[in-house]
Each structure stands twice: as C-alpha cells, then as structure tokens.
Amino acid sequence: MAAWQVFAYIAASILFITGLKMLSRPETARRGNRLSAVGMLIAVVATLAAGGLDYTWIVVGLVIGAAVGAVAARRVQMTGMPEMVALLNGSGGLASMLVGWAEYVRTTDVATFSAVAIVFTVLIGGIAASGSVVAFGKLSERIDGKPYLFRGQKPLNAALLALALVAAGFVIADAAIVGGVGGTTLAFALVLLLALALGVLVVIPIGGADMPIVVALLNSYSGIAAAAAGFVIDNNVLVVAGSLVGASGFILTTIMCKAMNRSLANVLFGGFGATVTAGSAAQEGSVKPLTPDDAYYILEAADSVVFVPGYGMAVAQAQHVVQELAELLIKNGADVRHAIHPVAGRMPGHMNVLLAEANVPYEQLVEPEDVNPAMETVDVAIVIGANDVVNPAAKEDPSSPLFGMPIIEVDRARTCFVLKRSMNPGFAGVDNALFFKDNTRMIFGDAKATIAAMVSAFKDA
Amino acid sequence: MNPLLLFVFVLAVFLGLELINKVPSQLHTPLMSGSNAISGITIVGAIVAAGEGGIVPTILGTIAVAAATINVIGGYLVTERMLGMFKVGKGS
C-alpha cells in the first residue's frame, strides 16, 4: 500500500470518528453525517486510484448500487423507515459476507490468521444479511410479526452454530496445516449456508415489540462484519470504521434493553409475548368508551395535555393530524407535550422521526422521566396506538411479563384517552389494566380519523 | 494476514463505546442509519474483489460492490433526509 493511500485511509478514519461523534448531538448531527460521507468518498477514491484493478465490473456495481440506494432513500416514507434500516443493515452484511467469500475463492495460500478472518466474516455477515431480511419481512408485515416458536428451537440453533464452528475449524485447520484452503470447499459452503440459516432462525422467534432491539443489534452485526472483512483484506480503515459501527449499534442495543428492563439474552432467547402468563390477574372494572365529540369538551377545558404515541400512530399515519390538534390546543392555551418511550414503535427513535416529519417542535418532545414526576398535573394524556409502554402492570403486577419495565405513567393523569382500533392486547400479548381504570376513556376507531374528528370539533367551535 | 490489526480493532471498539454515550432518543434512528452507512466501508474490500480478476471473485465482488453502495448511498441520503426534518434550536 502506497504511503499516500495510507494517509487517505487515516483521513477517512478521522472523518468517520468525528462524524459519528457529531451525529450523537442534535446541533451537529447533520454536519457529522456529511463529514462521514466525505470520509467514505475519500476511502473509495483512494481504493480506486491505487491501480491494478479492472474497473469494468466495479463501475457496474457502483452504478447499480447508487441508483437503487438513491431511489430507495428518496422514496421511502418516514413510516417505512424501520424496514429501510433493516434492509440497509442487510445489504452491508451481505457485502461483507461476499467479500469474505471472494477472498476465499481468490487466494490459494492462506495464513491461519486470514482463514480465521474469512470464516468469521462469512459467519457474521451471513447472519446479519439473512437476519435483516427476516426483520424486514416482520416489519413490513410480509411475515407474521408474532414470535415463531417451536419445540427444540434452542437446541437446534445451538447444534447448527456448533456445526458451523466445526466446519469453520476445518477451513482454519486446512490453512494451518496445508497452508491453503483449496481442499475445504464443502466445509466452507457449510459455513456459508449455516450462517444464512442461523440469521433466519435467530430473528424468527423475536416478537414485534422487541424489533427495536433486533434492528439495533443487526446494525451492530453489520459493523462487526465490516471490521472482520478488514482483517480479510488487511485494511485498517475497514477495521476502524466497522468497529465504530459495531460499538454504536451495541450501545443502542443496550439502551433499548434498559428501556424494557430486560437482558439481551432474554430478548434473543425469551420468545417474549408468545404466551400470555396465566398468573395475570383478571381485569377489574369496565371499559368506558367515549366519542371524539365528547373528547373535545374535555380537551377544550384542559390546561395540560400529553400525547403518548406508539406504533399505532405509525400504522394510522396519524402524525400530521396529531400536530394539527396539538397546535389547536396550544392556541387554546394548553401546555402540550409529546412523551416518547425509547422503545415505542419498531425501531429506536421511530416516534421522533414521525413527529419530526409532521413539524412537531423538538422542545415539545419529552422522555418518560421528564413527564412522569408531574403526571398528576396533566389534565389529559392521549395514548395513540401505544400499549405496552403505558401498561400499569409494569409497576403493579409482579406476575406480568412486563413487570419492572419503565413506563409512561398515564394512569396517574387526571384523564387518560386511549385511542385504539379494538380491544386486542398489544404486541407483547398482555392485557392492559389501563383500559379498565376509572380515569381512562377508550376512543375506538382509526387513530387518524379519531383525531381528525377532534380537530374539526375544535375548528367548528 | 496481519495480527497487528487486532490492536487497532480493540482500540477502535473502545473508542466507539466512549464516543457515543448519552445519545438523545431523538437521534436514535439517524445514528443508526448514519452509522450503518459507515459500515458500508466494506465497499473498499468489494472494489478490490471485483477488480482483481478471476471469474468467481469478480461475480461475487460485483454483487458486493452493488450491495455496499446501496448501503452507503442509501444510508447517507436517508440520514440526511431525516436530519433535515428535525427542527433544532429555537430555545432548546
């Protein structure tokens, strides 16, 4: 590698590091993203300019990828962002897997260390690729979002992983003893196929409400796969950039787990929500329905209103009417906030993106710990398609699978509206005692239509 | 090939963990899509695989270049689009 190329890669690495740091602060995020894009451009140009390459097929790949990426990025709806992120994770993992595979085919004399790097890249890249496709299927509801569990699932996964590692061991041993990987095509193919199978099997048992954790985890995997590919082609910039992404994905995963009060192991192996625990106490009290017109009279008198959006708001595409209602409430003299639970929706930050699309000012967005202490002073809490993140069982019922999860305590507000399509339990499959509380009013129907009705009630008044 | 890369790897992981502590939830999605674009750096390996000759490596490499480019271009553009929607400042 020429000295200038090393300098170019160092510059790219510095831009990635600075960009990522800036990306984690609201004021600098946009500049950070652009800086890291410049870093990427430098790395790509430095690789192309190094020479010794036949550009024909490189250009074909670049053109196809750029066209697909640009069109997808422009067309995707904000509500479709979780699927988009899952597919991007998958394409990164796939690329790393293929890089490992191509290197395996290309080289004849492979050092032991490189063989380790190759099988590891294929393994992680393959899991990230096929896992992301399943995650995409679940998020876009092409596959049932419910956890898919069968008997012997864990032993099967463990056995397949063990088999993959044994096959990987063969490839590595061949490199160590013979000094080449030529005779291990079958073992290598096995590693490849098992990696893809494992990706499917690992994501399939995970339920809809846990998707934010899975998406963050796959993000981390795609970074680790890129770092592993860096070991394969002996390139520092891949190692640095890949590990940064691996680390940031891991941090997001941890944040999501904390927000659900669960361990990562529990998410991955728990099959959460597959069964409703028999211990959950029977619900007391009755459901009190309300019409949007009656809701208007309560809202009209309210001084403090908190919206609690959930996945249902995304499904109903209700973010714009929510903002319209919020503006009318503010004009009417009320204090309006949007309380966002970290795991509301299907990916980390899902609700923030939707509300930002609807021009909700950043200052109105608050986190649970900001709004919970003063919940008694809130006149109306409007829950829009959220369920588990407002379920009081998380505080009150030790037998509930949700017990211990930090929630937005809307049950302590003076009045609580719950906008819901029907009485079905949430994605966690758990009944919600909130619906039966004295201060709760259920407003059934499509969330968008319901809020639009409240908006027109305000306008007519 | 080069075990010294392990040294770089471990340091970079620690750097990453230190770099991104306390991310406001508003930025969770852009951070994910933006960092995801960075993981498209594997495009460097894909370019080499697609251009160094050999039929099978060229085929695999070309697909890898296309996938990595989707990752890079799609990731940066979608992050830019999202961040453009966030209204920052105004008293916060």
B5/A contact by beta carbon, under 8 A: yes
Using a CB–CB cutoff of 8 Å, tell me whether B7 touches chain A: no
Question: pTM score, two decimals?
Answer: 0.88
Question: Per-residue pLDDT tens for B37-49?
Answer: 999 999 999 999 9
H helix runs in A24-54, sequence order: 29-49
Task: Give me the pLDDT at residue A206, please.
Answer: 83
Give the closest-approach CA distance of B4 to chain A in angstroms.
Answer: 10
How does residue B10 score in pLDDT terms, banded at 50, 70 and 90?
Answer: very high
A380-384 β-sheet, strand order: A365-366, A335-339, A304-309, A380-384, A415-420, A440-444
**Backbone phi, psi, residue A306, to 5°:** -120, 125
Answer yes or no: A234 catalytic.
Answer: no
Angstrom distance (rounded) from CA A420 to CA A348: 22
Distance from CA of A64 to the nearest CA of B (A): 6
Asked if B4 has any chain A CB less than 8 Å from its own CB, the reply is no
- Partner residue opposite A352 with nearest CB, options B26, B37, B47: B26
Measured between beta carbons, which residues in chain B are less than 8 angstroms from residue A362?
A: 26, 86-88, 90, 92
- Is the pLDDT at A128 greater than 90? The verdict is yes
Q: What is the pLDDT of residue A141?
A: 81
Q: Which residues of A touch B56 (CB under 8 A)?
A: 102, 105
Average model confidence (pLDDT) across chain B: 88
Q: What is the ipTM of this complex?
A: 0.94
**Mean pLDDT confidence for A190-198:** 96
Binned at pLDDT 50, 70 and 90, residue A288 comes out as confident
Residue A334 confidence (pLDDT): 92
Cβ B65–A65 below 8 Å, yes or no?
Answer: yes
Query: Chain B closest CA to A368's CA: distance in Å?
Result: 11
Q: Measured in whole angstroms, how far is the alpha carbon of residue A54 from the centre of its chain?
A: 38
| Contact between chains at A102 and B57 (C-beta distance less than 8 A) | yes
Tens-place pLDDT, residues A238-256: 999 999 999 999 999 998 8
Give strand ranges (E) for A166-324: 304-309
Question: Could you say which of B13, B21, B79 has the minimum Cβ distance to residue A33?
Answer: B79
Residue A75 burial by CB count (10 A; 0-12/13-18/19+): exposed, middle or buried? exposed
By the 8 A CB rule, do B39 and A45 touch? no
pLDDT, tens only, A341-366: 988 888 888 899 899 889 898 889 89
Q: Residue A178 — φ and ψ, nearest 5°? A: -90, -20
Judged against a pLDDT cut of 60, whether residue A77 lies above it is answered with yes
Please give the Cα distance from A166 to A382 (Å, whole number). Answer: 54
Q: Over chain A, what is the mean pLDDT?
A: 88
Lowest pLDDT segment from A121-125, A139-143, A414-418, B77-81 = A139-143
